[in-house]
Amino acid sequence: MDVALFSEKQKKVTIKMRILALLAILLSMPLNWLSPNRIEKIFTRITKNKPLASEKEVLEIRDAVCTVSRRCRSQEGCLRRSIAVVVAAWLKRRSASWNTGFALEPFRAHAWVEVKGIPIGEPDEISLYTKVISVLAHSEEKPGKIKSEPKKAQEDKGKLDHPKTNLRELFALANGDKLELFLVIILGIICACLTLFQPNLVADLVQQYSSGFVVNSTLILLMIVIAVSMILTTIQYYLLQKIGEGVVFEARSSLISHLLKLPIIEYDKRSVGDLISRVSGDTSRLRMALIQGTIAFTSGSFIVVGAAIGLALKDMVLFLTALFCVCLAFIGIFLMSNLIQKSSFRVQQELGKLSGMIERDLHAIRTIRSTNATSTEENKIKLQAEYLRNLGIRLAKIQSIMTPISNMSLQICGLIVLGFGGYRVSIGSMSLADLIAFALLLFIMIGPLSQIFGAFSWVGESLGAFSRIKELLVLDLETSKDNNPAITSYPKSSNEGGMVVFHKVNFGYNKLDFGTDIISQNDNLILKEIDLNAEFGKRTAIVGSSGAGKSTILQLIERFYDPDSGHIYVNGKDCRSYSREDLRKLITYVEQNAPIIAGSLRENLLLGNPTVTEEKCYNVLKEVNLSYLIERSPEKLDMIIGESGTTLSGGERQRLAMARSLLSDAEIVLLDELTSNLDSLNEIGMKKAIDKMRENKTVIVVAHRLSTIVDSDMIYVLEHGRIIGSGSHNELLEKVPLYRKLAKEQFLDKVI
Ligand SMILES: Nc1ncnc2c1ncn2[C@@H]1O[C@H](COP(=O)(O)OP(=O)(O)OP(=O)(O)O)[C@@H](O)[C@H]1O
């Protein structure tokens, strides 16, 4: 039987990929005869130091392998297939994790490939397999480990694991300004020629002035050369600044579009402050590398080469001595620039952490003040700032060693040349005019040379910042896991019927323990074997103690995360067969704490509903009892509601969030703790609005306050990630002790 997930039918496999796959199958043939342990050893060796392949790349390779080999396409060919995929990835200088494992009842063994713990092109059933061998690709780590790693180990990791970048990649960002960049290089070359021409003119002048000063053509030519050179340099600098701004813009826009589209789990791992510092601070650093690097390595190197030829022609021995000194300095500085890149990466990384800490504290400033934690927090931040200062000093040390080394070596060069030149003038084997021309050439060469040396420092620092930018840019976008072709072939759920159906859903936030140990995997699950059916035109409520997993259920419906196993059906289709964008068009979601975006009332209402009329806005504000806000403000809908809605009360924020979801056409309404901050009158108003909604929608409500959900059509009770009962209020009072207890605490333990 062909593997169900083979997506060749959906995608075209290119000739290049077919050749690669064929080569990989041929190369991997001997491995099929080896024991898994031997294969493990070989793969551990070959995947070492190779960057991790993306899921898309591995899926493409897998498709190609399945296309060229029928044996690899069959279920029984899993070993052959998985080995060929890893070998093909290796041929592309990439790595992926190779795994073997087994499942019980009925017993079956399997081999498959993973990227970042996600099995590629495998059915959900794979989560039931216990891994026996797992060759982790070099760049994959277990977040479980990262969490428990001491700071020192994390620091060491930071030292080694930043993505490699180079100037070519940096300059690729200036692709849109290719013409200007070309012009800059041409201008640089012209300026270099003009600069190199000057010493000859000066030498001519010295000779001509031995008989007295006159304004002659040589002097006028020299003036013109200097003036033109100045004008061209100005234009060159302006163009470079412009290209620099373009590069910063390019990096920022790719970062911004990437940042807003990452899988939600990536935001869980990072602090907002760190992400902001990458967009603002790190991108700015690219400009200097571009400007200094271009000037130094184009016109600078041209002047150096031209001047060197001039020097060599004038006195070869002297020139070779100078060249030797310069080469020695150059090697030292080149090595140090690598150190600078690494140090700069770490400085930026720690700066990101500092921004994250400040951002976190400013967000919770009221809590910090009220708990008298100001000085504790201040100390924590200062400690981080101090650590950053130490890293900065370390970076400064390397940079400051670089400057004297380059200056000193250049000065030594100058001294040798001048001393030796003076000697040659004194013995009459060189004219004074030649020595002046020689010294001028040297002088002209020293400027660009120190610029080139200095540029190594700038470039190193910028490449460090670029690594941090690249670190985010290499992450897969949320949409890259959309429309998994494997998903469409899943059987439909037996209890299908509702608009939203959960069928045996298991989910844990920490994916990395996946399959390594089935017991700890179960411990890790936040939702276990969830079966839930929310019907159209009905209100379904989820209740349970704090941390039971209620909000997680809503987040899975939104596909912020995908279940580890089981299926979620929306409108009869597995939610993974929709693109996330299409799925979210069907849903309106009011998060817990009802976040509000900084801006006007109008912006908040139109978020996701851009075509809604003003009249409709006024009507919904009335419906949620917020009309008084626009009545008391002369700006009406344009009244500003401050950062995160801080100028609104908690209850007002919840009602505004509800107003936004009332304006939406979506058929599925998810409301998480919408009434937690409301007084009883507003709660009744909100209940009425929800009741009206359910007439033509599927409403799923998460609530602690049972008063808001007792009359729901269906109530699910959740405890420690499991549904322990479902039914109407009266049925649950009778059969579910936890619900009875919750109801009793809220004086709602009467049958209604
Ligand atoms: N992004 C996340 N990463 C890791 N763990 C998380 C994440 N979000 C929630 N959790 C954990 O998952 C569990 C369930 O959280 P969830 O927010 O779904 O609970 P809840 O039932 O809605 O709780 P509450 O009623 O207090 O809002 C909690 O133990 C929580 O710590």
Task: Please give the ipTM for the structure prediction.
Answer: 0.97
From 512, 528, 552, the mutation candidate for ligand 1 (largest count of ligand atoms within 8 A of CB) is 552
How would residue 136 be classed by pLDDT, with cut points 50, 70 and 90? low
Query: What's the maximum distance between 2 C-alpha atoms anywhere in the chain?
Result: 120
Highest mean pLDDT among 404-418, 632-646, 737-751: 737-751
Is the preceding omega at residue 448 within 30 degrees of 0, hence cis? no
From 542, 550, 716, the mutation candidate for ligand 1 (largest count of ligand atoms within 8 A of CB) is 550
How would residue 551 be classed by pLDDT, with cut points 50, 70 and 90? very high
In the prediction, which pLDDT does 585 show? 87
Give yes or no for residue 715 having a pLDDT over 90. yes
Give the Å distance between the CA of 700 and the centre of ligand 1. Answer: 17
Residue 573 or residue 549, greater confidence: 549
In the prediction, which pLDDT does 38 show? 80
Question: Could you tell me if the CB of 551 is within 6 A of ligand 1?
Answer: yes
Separation between Cα atoms, residue 665 and residue 128, nearest integer Å: 39
Residue 100 contacts residue 122 (beta carbons within 8 Å): no
Least confident residue range of 163-172, 651-660, 719-728: 163-172
Residue by residue, DSSP assigns 357-418 as: HHHHHHHTHHHHHHTT-HHHHHHHHHHHHHHHHHHHHHHHHHHHHHHHHHHHHHHHHHHHHH
Q: Which residues contact 241 (CB under 8 A, 6 or more apart)?
A: 287, 291
In the prediction, which pLDDT does 670 show? 92
Residue 136 or residue 368, greater confidence: 368
Highest mean pLDDT among 146-150, 361-365, 486-490: 361-365
In the prediction, which pLDDT does 160 show? 41
Q: What value does the mean pLDDT take over residues 528-555? A: 90
For residue 239, give both structure tokens: 């163009």
Give the Å distance between the CA of 550 and the centre of ligand 1. Answer: 8
Give the Å distance between the CA of 552 and the centre of ligand 1. Answer: 6
Give the closest residue (by CA) to ligand 1 atom 31. Answer: 547
In the prediction, which pLDDT does 514 show? 37
Give the Å distance between the CA of 591 and the centre of ligand 1. Answer: 13
Give the closest residue (by CA) to ligand 1 atom 29. Answer: 547
Question: Could you tell me if the CB of 547 is within 6 A of ligand 1?
Answer: yes
For the sheet with 539-544, list strands across it: 587-590, 668-672, 698-702, 539-544, 714-719, 722-727
Residue 165 contacts residue 220 (beta carbons within 8 Å): no
For residue 433, give both structure tokens: 């005019």
Question: Could you tell me if the CB of 550 is within 6 A of ligand 1?
Answer: yes
Q: What are 382-391's contacts with CB under 8 Å, separation 24+?
A: 384/350, 384/353, 384/354, 384/357, 385/354, 387/350, 388/347, 388/350, 388/351, 388/354, 391/343, 391/346, 391/347, 391/350
Give which of 222, 28, 9, 176 is closest to 113, Cα–Cα. Answer: 28
In the prediction, which pLDDT does 156 show? 41
From 551, 555, 672, the mutation candidate for ligand 1 (largest count of ligand atoms within 8 A of CB) is 551
In the prediction, which pLDDT does 450 show? 72
Give the Å distance between the CA of 526 and the centre of ligand 1. Answer: 8
Give the Å distance between the CA of 549 and the centre of ligand 1. Answer: 6
From 526, 545, 675, 722, the mutation candidate for ligand 1 (largest count of ligand atoms within 8 A of CB) is 526
Residue 535 contacts residue 524 (beta carbons within 8 Å): no
In the prediction, which pLDDT does 259 show? 83
Give the closest residue (by CA) to ligand 1 atom 18. Answer: 549
In the prediction, which pLDDT does 555 show? 92
Give which of 74, 75, 70, 87 is closest to 32, Cα–Cα. Answer: 87
Separation between Cα atoms, residue 604 and residue 591, nearest integer Å: 14
Separation between Cα atoms, residue 744 and residue 752, nearest integer Å: 14
In the prediction, which pLDDT does 154 show? 40
Question: Could you tell me if the CB of 552 is within 6 A of ligand 1?
Answer: yes
Give the Å distance between the CA of 560 and the centre of ligand 1. Answer: 13
In the prediction, which pLDDT does 718 show? 92
Give the Å distance between the CA of 575 and the centre of ligand 1. Answer: 21
Highest mean pLDDT among 115-124, 431-440, 500-509: 500-509
Closest atom of ligand 1 to CA, residue 702: 22
CB neighbours of residue 494 within 10 Å: 9
Q: What value does the mean pLDDT take over residues 603-612? A: 82
In the prediction, which pLDDT does 647 show? 74
Question: Could you tell me if the CB of 509 is within 6 A of ligand 1?
Answer: yes
In the prediction, which pLDDT does 144 show? 33
SS3 722: strand
Q: Which residues contact 181 (CB under 8 A, 6 or more apart)?
A: 171, 174, 243, 294
Question: Could you tell me if the CB of 525 is within 6 A of ligand 1?
Answer: no
213: number of CA atoms within 13 Å, CB side?
A: 0
How would residue 614 be classed by pLDDT, with cut points 50, 70 and 90? confident
Closest atom of ligand 1 to CA, residue 718: 21
Question: Could you tell me if the CB of 549 is within 6 A of ligand 1?
Answer: yes
Residue 144 contacts residue 436 (beta carbons within 8 Å): no
Give yes or no for residue 597 having a pLDDT over 60. yes
Q: What value does the mean pLDDT take over residues 545-572? A: 88
In the prediction, which pLDDT does 700 show? 93
Give the Å distance between the CA of 462 and the centre of ligand 1. Answer: 39
SS3 716: strand
Backbone angle region of 460, left / alpha / beta, with phi > 0 → left and psi within -120 to 50 → alpha: alpha
DSSP 8-state class, residue 670: E
State how far Cα 557 lies from the chain centre: 24
Question: Could you tell me if the CB of 592 is within 6 A of ligand 1?
Answer: yes
Percent of the residues in the chain that have a pLDDT greater than 90, as a whole number: 5
Least confident residue range of 11-15, 76-80, 321-325, 590-594: 321-325
Question: Could you tell me if the CB of 162 is within 6 A of ligand 1?
Answer: no
Please give the sequence-ordered ranges of beta strands (E in DSSP) within 193-322, or none if there are none.
none
Give the closest residue (by CA) to ligand 1 atom 10. Answer: 509
Give the Å distance between the CA of 511 and the centre of ligand 1. Answer: 15
Question: Could you tell me if the CB of 627 is within 6 A of ligand 1?
Answer: no
In the prediction, which pLDDT does 360 show? 77
The predicted model scores a pTM of 0.62
Q: Which residues contact 465 (CB under 8 A, 6 or more apart)?
A: 281, 282, 283, 285, 286, 344, 345, 348
Question: Could you tell me if the CB of 267 is within 6 A of ligand 1?
Answer: no
For residue 702, give both structure tokens: 């998460």
Tell me how many degrees the CA angle 660-625-712 measures, rounded to the nearest 5: 70
In the prediction, which pLDDT does 723 show? 92
Q: What value does the mean pLDDT take over residues 684-710? A: 83
SS3 142: coil
Give the Å distance between the CA of 540 and the centre of ligand 1. Answer: 20
* SS3 track for 441-487: HHHHHHHHHHHHHHHHHHHHHHHHHHHHHHHHHCCCCHHHHCCCCCH
In the prediction, which pLDDT does 724 show? 92
State how far Cα 179 lies from the chain centre: 30
Give the closest residue (by CA) to ligand 1 atom 3. Answer: 509
Give the Å distance between the CA of 366 and the centre of ligand 1. Answer: 23
Q: What value does the mean pLDDT take over residues 24-48? A: 82
Question: Could you tell me if the CB of 577 is within 6 A of ligand 1?
Answer: no
Separation between Cα atoms, residue 526 and residue 510, nearest integer Å: 9
How would residue 1 be classed by pLDDT, with cut points 50, 70 and 90? very low
Same fold, 167-478 and 490-745: no
Burial of 208 (0-12, 13-18, 19+ CB in 10 A): middle
In the prediction, which pLDDT does 401 show? 74
Give the type of residue at 703.
Answer: A
Give the Å distance between the CA of 265 and the centre of ligand 1. Answer: 13
Give which of 223, 285, 277, 279 is closest to 253, Cα–Cα. Answer: 279
Give yes or no for residue 667 having a pLDDT over 80. yes
Give the closest residue (by CA) to ligand 1 atom 30. Answer: 547
The partner residues of 111 in beta bridges, in order of sequence, read: 100
In the prediction, which pLDDT does 641 show? 79
Number of H helices, E strands in the chain: 28, 14
Residue 721 or residue 206, greater confidence: 721
Give the closest residue (by CA) to ligand 1 atom 24. Answer: 546
How would residue 275 be classed by pLDDT, with cut points 50, 70 and 90? confident
Give the Å distance between the CA of 693 and the centre of ligand 1. Answer: 27
Give the closest residue (by CA) to ligand 1 atom 7. Answer: 509
Give the closest residue (by CA) to ligand 1 atom 4. Answer: 509
Give which of 134, 440, 423 is closest to 310, Cα–Cα. Answer: 440
Residue 418 or residue 642, greater confidence: 418
From 262, 506, 509, the mutation candidate for ligand 1 (largest count of ligand atoms within 8 A of CB) is 509
For residue 197, give both structure tokens: 């021409």
How would residue 168 be classed by pLDDT, with cut points 50, 70 and 90? confident
In the prediction, which pLDDT does 643 show? 61
Give the Å distance between the CA of 510 and the centre of ligand 1. Answer: 12
In the prediction, which pLDDT does 127 show? 67
Separation between Cα atoms, residue 613 and residue 420, nearest integer Å: 86
Closest atom of ligand 1 to CA, residue 721: 14
Residue by residue, DSSP assigns 676-713 as: TT--HHHHHHHHHHHHHHHTTSEEEEE-S-GGGTTT-S
Percent of the residues in the chain that have a pLDDT greater than 70, as a whole number: 82
CB neighbours of residue 168 within 10 Å: 7
Closest atom of ligand 1 to CA, residue 592: 27
Question: Could you tell me if the CB of 737 is within 6 A of ligand 1?
Answer: no
532 sits in which H/E element: strand 527-534
Give which of 446, 442, 365 is closest to 199, Cα–Cα. Answer: 442
pLDDT digits (tens, 9 = 90+) for 105-115: 566 778 888 88
Q: Which residues contact 645 (CB under 8 A, 6 or more apart)?
A: 595, 596, 597, 598, 604, 652, 653, 656
Give the closest residue (by CA) to ligand 1 atom 5. Answer: 509
Give the closest residue (by CA) to ligand 1 atom 23. Answer: 547
Q: What are phi and psi of 217, to 5 degrees?
A: -65, -35
Residue by residue, DSSP assigns 576-593 as: GGS-HHHHHHTEEEE-TT
Residue 545 contacts residue 741 (beta carbons within 8 Å): no
DSSP 8-state class, residue 647: T
pLDDT digits (tens, 9 = 90+) for 417-434: 777 778 878 887 777 777
Give the Å distance between the CA of 543 and the centre of ligand 1. Answer: 14
Question: Could you tell me if the CB of 548 is within 6 A of ligand 1?
Answer: yes
Q: Could you confirm whether domain 490-745 is CATH 3.40.50.300?
A: yes
| Domains of the chain by residue range | 7-141, 167-478, 490-745
Q: Could you confirm whether domain 167-478 is CATH 1.20.1560.10?
A: yes
How would residue 153 be classed by pLDDT, with cut points 50, 70 and 90? very low
Question: Could you tell me if the CB of 264 is within 6 A of ligand 1?
Answer: no
Q: What are phi and psi of 485, to 5 degrees?
A: -60, -25
Alpha helices in 607-644 (DSSP H): 614-623, 627-631
The partner residues of 727 in beta bridges, in order of sequence, read: 715
Give yes or no for residue 638 having a pLDDT over 80. yes
Give the Å distance between the CA of 377 and the centre of ligand 1. Answer: 25
